[in-house]
Amino acid sequence: MGDPINVLVVGGGGREHALVWKINQSPLVGKLYCAPGNAGTSELAENVDIGAEDIEKLLDFARANDIGLTVVGPEAALCEGIVDAFATAGLKAFGPDKKAALLEGSKAFMKKILSDANIPTAKYEKLTDPASALKTLEKFNGKVAVKADGLAAGKGVIICQSHAEAAQAIDLMMVKRAFGAAGDSIIIEELLEGEEASMLAFCDGENFIMMPSSQDHKRIGDGDTGPNTGGMGAYSPAPVVTPKIESMVEKEVMGKVMEAMKKDGRPYKGILYAGLMLTDSGPKVLEFNCRFGDPECQPILMRLKSDIVPLLLASVDGNLKNLSAQWSNRSTVCVVMASGGYPGPYEKGKEIYGLKEAASTEDVVVFHAGTTLDNDRVLTSGGRVLGVTASGVTVAEAIDTAYEAVSKISWDNVVFRKDIGHRAVGR
């Protein structure tokens, strides 16, 4: 197999802890680093104090430490062109280059690719000033999604049930500039009715390998109430995604978008994430992301039986067609534990208790997201703090196991949803 390679994972959230956890299991890996990492990654990798968007410093570190593969977690670094910078330096980085990452970096570009490739999506209009945005609202029946065109850390979408709510959302994005430059232009689109699901694939520019389905819970509160967050929990597989829907998404969405991107001179490598609405008239694409979802990454990687490193390397090198991936048929569930106040202002620096007890629960991995080490104490340092992930023969069993572990963990003002996976159980 040749000499082991040193691997650098870029990012410091729950997705990156899951990547570190999975990559660490590979016999192909020598030294494993995570920049900047968190308290959880520090147990499996060496944390490096470099921010995920500090491309120059990351490049210097990779050169100095003989890094054979860099795996980029967050979207901002990908949209900034980290993969291009590494490629120019003759280094392998997993993820799309800057041109291909525009699929997530601009919702307007994403919509253009969808219409070029004839992939079903919601009717929409792109607007660049508040007055014409308000005027355009008249064309919709009041129920719309208002989306910031640029990156807004997963929070730039406001679901509006009335004309008044939509006008408020336009004001928030374009006048009050709540998401900064991301709201320079916005998308107004019809609100699709149905159930959401996510389908992801490893891509090498031409070929792709599908992953099992998953479903995320975006709202902060039980029963899908309250504001959108970066995700309060997820599970895999999503029973709403039938084998028929799965093969439809593979052919009609993933296959077509890979072709369209190649035709547009932007061959797509890395993780392609399709956020779908399963409507009465079939699956429609809500969004594409250019990386693993967070928290979908945690339950998906928990089901991956194959070594992930050959899949990552083959994606970079363009030879996925010679590989396949094996998945466990068990169900997995991730419950996100967050800081009180999230997704609004929240306090940091709270000591977390019960981590060892929770991690010793069978079939559970506690993935860290917003944590930091203070000597031996683990403290909160983010809005989403932990992703408690469990597997079970059935989704109900996985849910019970995850919540059993959640009950062992505490800190001052912790919040979490108590109904993660409720739709799957309902089925």
Q: Does 104 have pLDDT greater than 70? A: yes
What is the model's pLDDT at position 160?
86
Q: What percent of the chain has pLDDT over 70?
A: 99
Q: Is 140 in contact with 172 (CB distance < 8 Å)? A: no
Quick one: 202 and 317 in the same domain?
A: yes
pTM to 2 decimals? 0.93
The radius of gyration of the chain's CA atoms, rounded to the nearest angstrom, is 21
pLDDT in tens, 318-376: 999 999 999 999 999 999 999 999 999 999 999 999 999 999 999 999 999 999 999 99
Residue 2 CA: distances (Å) to CA of 5, 27, 66: 9, 11, 15
Give the Cα separation of 374 and 410 in Å (integer).
Answer: 17
Q: What would the two tokens of residue 134 be?
A: 């308000």
Least confident of 141-150, 200-209, 219-228, 366-375: 141-150
Specify if 116 maps to a domain: no
What is the model's pLDDT at position 82?
98
What is the model's pLDDT at position 11?
98
**Residue 49 pLDDT level (bands cut at 50, 70, 90):** very high
Quick one: 282 and 348 in the same domain?
A: no
Quick one: 295 and 338 in the same domain?
A: no
What is the model's pLDDT at position 40?
98
What is the model's pLDDT at position 378?
98
**Residue 380 pLDDT level (bands cut at 50, 70, 90):** very high
Q: In whole numbers, what is the pLDDT of the chain averaged over residues?
A: 94
Three-state SS at 98: helix
Least confident of 37-41, 169-173, 210-214, 393-397: 169-173
When divided into structural domains, the chain yields a total of 4
- The one-letter code for the residue type at 271 is I
Give the domain CATH number at 143. 3.30.1490
What is the model's pLDDT at position 1?
57
Q: Is 184 in contact with 128 (CB distance < 8 Å)? A: yes
Q: Are strands 29-36 and 46-47 parallel, antiparallel or unpaired?
A: parallel
Quick one: 278 and 359 in the same domain?
A: no
DSSP state, residue 134: H
Specify if 109 maps to a domain: no
Residue 261 CA: distances (Å) to CA of 76, 126, 420: 20, 21, 35
What is the model's pLDDT at position 231?
94
Cα end-to-end span (Å), the chain? 45
* Domain end among 322, 341, 374: 322
Q: Does 209 have pLDDT greater than 90? A: yes
Question: Domain range for residue 274?
Answer: 195-322
Q: Is 217 in contact with 200 (CB distance < 8 Å)? A: no
**Residue 126 pLDDT level (bands cut at 50, 70, 90):** confident
Element (H, E) at 351: none
* Backbone φ and ψ of 222, nearest 5°: -55, 150
Quick one: 286 and 306 in the same domain?
A: yes
What average pLDDT score do residues 190-207 get? Answer: 94
**Residue 128 pLDDT level (bands cut at 50, 70, 90):** confident
CA dihedral 105, 107, 112, 113 (to 10 degrees): 50
Specify if 395 maps to a domain: yes
Write out the DSSP string of 173-227: IIIS-TTGGGGSSEEEEEPPPSEEEEEEEEEESS-EEE---BEE--EEETTTEEE
Specify if 118 maps to a domain: no
Specify if 113 maps to a domain: no
* Domain end among 144, 163, 184: 184
DSSP state, residue 251: I
Quick one: 286 and 358 in the same domain?
A: no
Q: How far is CA 227 from the centre of its chain?
A: 18
Place of tokens 């990654």: 41
Quick one: 301 and 388 in the same domain?
A: no
- The one-letter code for the residue type at 149 is D
- Whether the bond between 237 and the residue before it is cis, its omega within 30 degrees of 0, is yes
Specify if 219 maps to a domain: yes
Quick one: 166 and 200 in the same domain?
A: no
Quick one: 168 and 200 in the same domain?
A: no
Q: Does 152 have pLDDT greater than 80? A: no
Q: What would the two tokens of residue 380 be?
A: 């909160």
How many CA atoms lie within 13 Å of 350's alpha carbon, on the beta-carbon side?
23
What is the model's pLDDT at position 180?
84
Three-state SS at 113: helix
Give the Cα separation of 2 and 262 in Å (integer).
Answer: 32
Give the Cα separation of 142 and 153 in Å (integer).
Answer: 26
Quick one: 224 and 301 in the same domain?
A: yes
Three-state SS at 265: coil
Give the domain CATH number at 368. 3.90.600.10
Handedness of CA 45, 213, 156, 117 (dihedral sign): positive
Quick one: 204 and 269 in the same domain?
A: yes
Residue 81 CA: distances (Å) to CA of 9, 72, 109: 16, 11, 17
Tell the burial category of 81 from Cβ atoms under 10 Å away from its Cβ (0-12, 13-18, 19+). middle
Q: How far is CA 85 from the centre of its chain?
A: 23
What is the model's pLDDT at position 154?
65
Q: Does 234 have pLDDT greater than 90? A: yes
* Domain end among 305, 322, 339: 322
Give the domain CATH number at 49. 3.40.50.20
Specify if 110 maps to a domain: no
Q: Are strands 124-127 and 186-190 parallel, antiparallel or unpaired?
A: antiparallel
Q: Is 420 in contact with 77 (CB distance < 8 Å)? A: no
Quick one: 315 and 204 in the same domain?
A: yes
Give the Cα separation of 116 and 130 in Å (integer).
Answer: 27
Place of tokens 């809500």: 286
Specify if 340 maps to a domain: yes
Q: What would the two tokens of residue 274 be?
A: 């399709």
